[in-house]
Structure 1
Amino acid sequence: MTKPPVLRIAAVQLLLVSLAGGVLHLSGKPVTALSVLIGGVLCALPGAYFGWYAFRDRGARAAQRVVGNFYRGQAGKFVLTLAGFAAVFATVKPLNAAALFISYGLCVIVQWWLAARMTR
């Protein structure tokens, strides 16, 4: 049985935001670069946590645990995302909030697109 692609998706997301952040930093926009990187991390790491937690158990005998793991994994992802945004807005100054949210949103779209492509 193959492993779910969730960790590969998080790795691709982190690679993309790292490249975007690097380009922005080299073009003289360090605050925007950091905001883009943080937005991507706020999407990728909770997503990786969900994938790790939700897919810990496999098989027909573990069906009840798998369903419970999905709910607990999703709840953990939600809490990590909220706590991450709260920590960023409380501690990171200066911050480009628009770049942060755009990066987060684009990472969510990349996550959906890659999940659809990898599970076909």
Structure 2
Amino acid sequence: MYKPPVLLIAAVQLLLVSLAGAVLHFGGRPVTALSVWIGGALCALPNAYFGYRAFRHRGARAAHRVVESFYRAETGKFILTLAGFAAVFAVVRPLDAAALFISYGSCVVLQWLLVARLVR
């Protein structure tokens, strides 16, 4: 079965935020650690969903289904990201919002860098 690179990128993102969260947690900052992990997960999990949904079809004969899959996958990724942020801000207390957004932004930048490296 074909595994798109997007899934590998999501796994790398989750691994790195888990390591950062573990370092922060054992460094005595459990709220920041949780916030960092959640921020990374809010980026990586919708990306993994996108990779799973967008790359289900391949080949020239399936061109219409490929385009349709990409649109649906991107819409689902967007909805999952919005719902994830809404749920986190509604449920998680205490929360370090700065750490959450820095982690999310760092995962987005990491995604860009890894995609650029894979495309080369």
TM-score (norm 1): 0.97
Which residue does the alignment assign to 2:118?
Answer: 118
Distance of 1:2 and 1:85 partners within structure 2: 31
- The AA in structure 1 aligned to 2:36 is V
Partner of 2:43: 43
How far apart are the structure 2 equivalents of 1:110 and 1:103?
Answer: 10
User: Is residue 2:22 matched to residue 1:12?
Assistant: no
In structure 1, the gaps of 5 or more residues are: none
- Say if 2:86 is the partner of 1:86: yes
- CA distance in structure 2 between the aligned counterparts of 1:73 and 1:81, rounded to whole angstroms: 12
What do residues 22-67 of structure 1 show as CA deviations (whole Å, max 9, x unaligned)? Answer: 0000110000000000000000000000011000000000001101
How many residue pairs were aligned? 120
**Partner amino acid, structure 2, of 1:52:** Y
Q: Residue 105 of structure 1 aligns to which amino acid in structure 2?
A: G
Q: Which runs of 5+ in 2 are unaligned?
A: none
CA offset at residue 75 of structure 1? Answer: 0.3
How far the C-alpha of 1:104 sits from its partner, in A, is 0.2
The alpha-carbon deviation at position 119 of structure 1 amounts to 2.1
Q: Which amino acid aligns with 1:58?
A: R
Q: Which structure 1 residue ranges, 4+ long, deviate > 6 Å from structure 2?
A: none
User: What is the aligned partner in structure 2 of residue 76 from structure 1?
Assistant: 76
Distance 2:79 2:67 in 1: 19
Amino acid at match of 2:37: L
Residue 108 of structure 2 is aligned to residue 108 of structure 1: yes
- TM value normalised by structure 2: 0.97
Aligned alpha-carbon RMSD (Å)? 1.2
**CA apart distance, 1:116:** 1.1
